[in-house]
Amino acid sequence: MELGNSSEEEGLFSNLPETRETFVGAAQSPDKVAKLTSAQPVGPAISLSVSPGDTIKMEGYAYFEGGNGYSSTTTLASFVGAVAGAFGGVNGGNEVQQTIYNSFDNAYGVLGLNGSGDDNVPAAYLNYIFFDKNMIYKRSGFKQISSAGNFSKEHVVFDNDIIISEQGFIFCYVTMESATGAVYWDDFKVTLSEHPIISSHTLYPYGAPIEALSYERVSALSNDKLYQGKEFIKDMELETYDFGLRMYDPLTVRTWQIDPGAEAYYRMSPYSWAAGNPISLIDPTGAFTELFNENGKKIGEDENGNDGNVSIITNKDDANRIKKDYKKGGIASAEDVASGFQTTKAVLSEALNVLERTEANGGMSEESSLVMNDGKVVRGETGEKGKVTEQGGFKFLEAGTSVPQLPEGSTVADVAAMIHSHLTAVVEQDGQAFQQDATRPSVGLGDQVTFNTYSSNVIVGRLGPVKVIPQSNSTVPKIQPAPLGAAFYKGSNMKAVFTIRKAAMQNIIK
């Protein structure tokens, strides 16, 4: 409330000049307070845009000087007008002013006045009202001063922090509802602790945003990379995705351009998307795919062939049929593509590079890379040397990964795949053989954090546990490491959705 801070505080809080008064006895520091009466029932007030997970703490110092008759309150209509007015609301004003007024009028129509249960204590409160992003009333709270504020400065604070559950606006303010007397407020403080997650986008299977389940912090830079990491264009209300070769409308589930390979999908509309199966299929560029069997041998392609996208067919019957059709000059159908695991040659090539870098360092340090949607690769530094660790009586081989930094100006939505290795070496210690397994994410939070951050993860290394095989002609068992390869993971799921051996990867990218 002090004049020395007025230029800054009045840019954040309303009702400061209207209530400022010099009163040393009531001031916390040094002599200015906010005086509230029935004629000026609302004091310092502030509105904040908030997002899920944010917390709010409210506090202030209150003072009054005896008296009684405090249980008699001012009229609800005048009080609503004062509260709404503190935040720019005016009944009969312009559209914005009227909207604000209506929101508070509706809220107080539910809440009413709090009043005072003690005739000797003013009906003075710390208050908050929370509205959703459409200014619909959701919840509120208040904390009344007590007799401790009688000729003394009482520290009034909410017992618990206010936790925000959805995107919206919180209005914090101090009030005096009693029709008689005066209450003096000082050092009114509202602390906003923002949650570290600044945006969350929930999409329907075909990519249309679910607005009710999504939010983006107002103060944050907008993230337009949504469905499959592609830019969602909202300018001029287009609401389409730019896939390079085609523009895609997630509401109609159609593209604006004819599929260049429409002849290969004669049973479908040339404007269809992902062959009508967005759960199993992706279309990173709007182009086409090569098909390979699980050994990495090419068995087919759709019309445009070699564009960097691949589908690996693991079902042998399907693979044989596609191979026969391909030899006869046939074009793979959308169903053929959907039957395999889909990735890109860029991801497979870099996965192989990470694996080879791990082998080159002796297999005892992890390596990592990011493959961006535009094909750019960012490689991390070699991790610290691994070691056998014991935890809870259980021994295991442990190592850390140095995760690459995102390129400047990019976000996790720009990442096609995060790739890191598990150790490939086998460590023999105390009669035991220890080996990391790419199909089993690391013990602890390391891999879990990475999986929660990136939508597509690849772990390269040994595909399975080490085998210790007793020998009939020797007391020394044979140590047989698992084969090398890559395990693919989707989202936060800690179970691999696909595995491929090193030799097959080499065959595909050669």
pLDDT digits (tens, 9 = 90+) for 206-218: 899 998 888 888 7
Per residue in 330-347, pLDDT tens?
777 777 887 889 999 999
Percent of the chain at pLDDT exceeding 70: 95
Clarify whether residues 137 and 208 are in a common domain. Answer: no
Q: Give this prediction's pTM.
A: 0.53
Q: What CATH number does residue 27 fall under?
A: 2.60.120.260
CA-based nearest residue to 311, from 302, 320, 245, 457: 302
154 and 107 co-located in one domain? yes
Give yes or no for residue 13 having a pLDDT over 90: yes
pLDDT at 177 > cutoff 70: yes
Containing structural domain, residue 301: 289-337
Residues 368 and 406 in one domain: yes
Spatial CB neighbours of 93, under 8 Å, sequence gap ≥ 6: 101
> What local confidence, expressed as pLDDT, does residue 354 receive?
97
Q: Residue 316 above 80 pLDDT?
A: yes
Q: Does one domain contain both 161 and 39? A: yes
Whether residue 118 lies inside any domain: the answer is yes
pLDDT number for residue 257: 87
User: Over the stretch 355-410, which tens digit does the pLDDT of each residue have?
Assistant: 999 999 999 999 999 999 888 999 999 998 989 888 777 788 888 878 899 998 89
- Annotate 391-451 with DSSP letters as a single string: ETTEEEEE----PPPPPTT--GGGEEEEEEE-----EEETTEEE---TTSPPSSSHHHHHH
Are 221 and 309 within one domain? no
Q: Is 138 found in the same domain as 174? A: yes
Q: Is the pLDDT of residue 9 over 70?
A: yes
Within 10 angstroms of residue 331's Cβ, the number of other Cβ atoms is 18
Asked if pLDDT for residue 283 goes beyond 60, the answer is yes
pLDDT band at 233 (very low <50, low <70, confident <90, very high): very high
Q: Is residue 109 part of a domain?
A: yes
Average pLDDT on 155-176 reads: 94
Rounded to an integer, what distance in angstroms lies between the CA atom of residue 405 and that of residue 451? 16
DSSP string for 329-355? T----HHHHHTSEEEEHHHHHHHHHHH
Mean pLDDT, the chain, integer: 88
* Position 282 in a domain: no
CB 351 within 8 A of CB 461: no
Closest CA to 150 of 109, 192, 121: 121
Q: Which of 134, 166, 193 is the last residue before a domain boundary?
A: 193
pLDDT for the residue 346? 93
Same domain for 73 and 141? yes
Residues 26 and 147 in one domain: yes
283 in any annotated domain: no
Burial 346-383 (b: 16+ CB within 10 A, else e): bbbbbbbbbbebbbebebbbbbbbbbbbeeebbbbebb
Nearest partner of 341 among 296, 302, 383, 306, judged by Cα: 296
Tokens matching residue 377: 């690769």
* Domain count within the chain: 4
Phi, psi of 420 (to 5 degrees): -145, 160
| Two structure tokens written together for 149 | 């504020």
Is 281 part of any domain?
A: no
Of 193, 228, 259, the residue at which a domain comes to its end is: 193
Tokens found for residue 327: 């030899």
Of 78-82, 92-96, 442-446, 504-508, the one with minimum mean pLDDT is 442-446
Mark whether 312 and 421 lie in a shared domain. Answer: no
Extract the tokens encoding 9: 């505080």
- With bands split at pLDDT 50, 70 and 90, how would you rate the model's confidence at 285? low
Residue 365 resides in a domain? yes
H or E element, residue 81: helix 76-86
Quote the pLDDT of residue 71: 83
Domain C-terminal end among 193, 225, 253: 193
